[in-house]
Amino acid sequence: MSRTSSEHDRRVAGRLAGKTALVVGAGSIGPGWGNGKATAVTFAREGAAVFCVDRDPAAAEETAKIITDEGGQAHAYAADATDERQSRDMVAACLELWGQIDILDNNVGIAEVGGVVDMQMSNWDRVMDVNVKAALLAMKHTIPHMASRGGGSIVNIASIAGTRWLGVSYAAYYASKAALLHLTRTSAVEYARHGVRVNAVSPGAMQTPMVEQDAGISGVDSANVEEMWAKRAALVPLGVGGEGWDVAWAALYLASDESRYVTGIDLVVDGGLSLKW
C-alpha cells in the first residue's frame, strides 16, 4: 500500500480535503466548545464538507455558521438521532446534498446519576437510546453507502467510563459506553472487508459545556465551576483537564487517511487518568 501522488495532494490541501463528514451531535449544549462542535469545526478546517446534525436546530446552525464564516463548507440539520426514521432521513439528506459520506462521527451522549438499585428505568432507557441506539442507527444507515463506495471511517465517541469505575454512581452511563465500545470493535471486524473502519475515542476528565451543565444540575453553582475544574484536573497525571479540541484532534486522526490501517481501537484521550488505580 504505497503512497500515491493524490494522497500527497490531499495532505497538502488539508487532511480531509475532498471528503464529506456527517457529524451527529455537532452542536454544543451551552457556551464554549463541546466535543461535537470542536470536531465539526476541526474537520472543516482540514478540508471536509461537514453535515452538522443536532437535536437543537440553533446549536447545529451555530456550528455550521462558524464553519462557513471561516470559508468552509457546512450544512445544519436538525434531527433526533435516537429515532430511526429521522436517522435514516438525516443520512439521506446528507447524500442528497453532497452525494457521499466518507466520515461518520457519533458524538451524542448523556449521563444520569443512579446505581442499579435506585435507577429509574425511564432514565436507563433514555441513556441507552442516546448513547448506544443513536450510534447504532447512524451506522446502520451509513455503512451500506460507505461499503458501496469502497470504504469510509466511523468514529464513535465513548468514554473511559466504558472500562472503569469513575467514582460516581452512573450505572446506565457505564453500561452504555461499554456497549458502544464493543459495538465499535465487533462492527470493525464485520465491515473491515468492505473498507469501512470503525474506531472509538474515549475521553476522560474533560472541561466541556455538558459537564458544566451536569454540575449545575448536581448543585455546583457558577461561582464554583473553576474550583470543580481544578479538582478534576488534580486527579489527572498530566495535571490538566481535557478540552473538546483534544477529542476533535483524536477524531481527526481516525477520520483521516493517516489511520487507514487502524480499525477497532479505543483511542483513550484522558491525560493518563485511566492509568491510575
**Model confidence at 29, in pLDDT bands (50, 70, 90)?**
confident
Percentage of the chain beyond pLDDT 90 is 82
The pLDDT assigned to 33 comes to 94
The pLDDT assigned to 8 comes to 45
Query: What is the phi/psi pair of residue 73, to 5°?
Result: -115, 125
One DSSP character per residue, 110-170 reads ----B-TTT--HHHHHHHHIIIIIHHHHHHHHHHHHHHHTT-EEEEEE--GGGTS--SS-B
Average pLDDT over residues 124-142: 98
Report whether pLDDT(1) > 70. no
The amino acid at residue 172 is: A
Of residues 259 and 211, more confidently modeled: 259
**Model confidence at 5, in pLDDT bands (50, 70, 90)?**
very low
What is the tens place of the pLDDT at every residue in 179-234? 999 999 999 999 999 999 999 999 998 987 777 766 544 444 556 878 888 888 99
The pLDDT assigned to 228 comes to 84
**Model confidence at 38, in pLDDT bands (50, 70, 90)?**
very high
Average pLDDT over residues 242-252: 97
The pLDDT assigned to 226 comes to 83
What is the tens place of the pLDDT at every residue in 58-102? 999 999 999 999 999 999 999 999 999 999 999 999 999 999 999
Give yes or no for a contact between 170 and 112, defined as CB atoms under 8 angstroms apart.
yes
* Sign of the CA dihedral with 70 first, then 75, 80, and 83 last: negative
Please confirm, yes or no, whether 253 is among the known catalytic residues. Answer: no
Mapping DSSP to helix (H, G, I), strand (E, B) and coil, where does residue 84 land? helix
Report whether pLDDT(173) > 80. yes
Average pLDDT over residues 131-135: 98
Q: Which domains does the chain have, with CATH numbers?
A: 14-210+243-267 (3.40.50.720)
Measured between alpha carbons, how far is 77 from 74 in angstroms, rounded to an integer?
10
The pLDDT assigned to 171 comes to 97
The pLDDT assigned to 14 comes to 96
Give yes or no for a contact between 99 and 148, defined as CB atoms under 8 angstroms apart.
no
User: Is residue 265 within a helix (H) or strand (E), and if so which, with residue range?
Assistant: none
Which of 34-38, 170-174, 213-217 shows the lowest mean pLDDT across its residues?
213-217
The pLDDT assigned to 120 comes to 96
Which of 6-20, 94-108, 109-123, 243-257 shows the lowest mean pLDDT across its residues?
6-20
Average pLDDT over residues 223-251: 91
Please name the residue that has the C-alpha cell 453500561. Answer: 175
CA separation (Å) from 261 to 68, 153, 196, 247, 257?
Answer: 32, 11, 11, 20, 9
| pTM of the full structure | 0.92
- Sheet containing strand 73-78, edge to edge, reads 73-78, 49-54, 20-24, 103-106, 152-157, 196-203, 266-269
Measured between alpha carbons, how far is 60 from 51 in angstroms, rounded to an integer?
9
Percentage of the chain beyond pLDDT 70 is 91
Check 173, 174, 191, 261 and give the catalytic one: 173
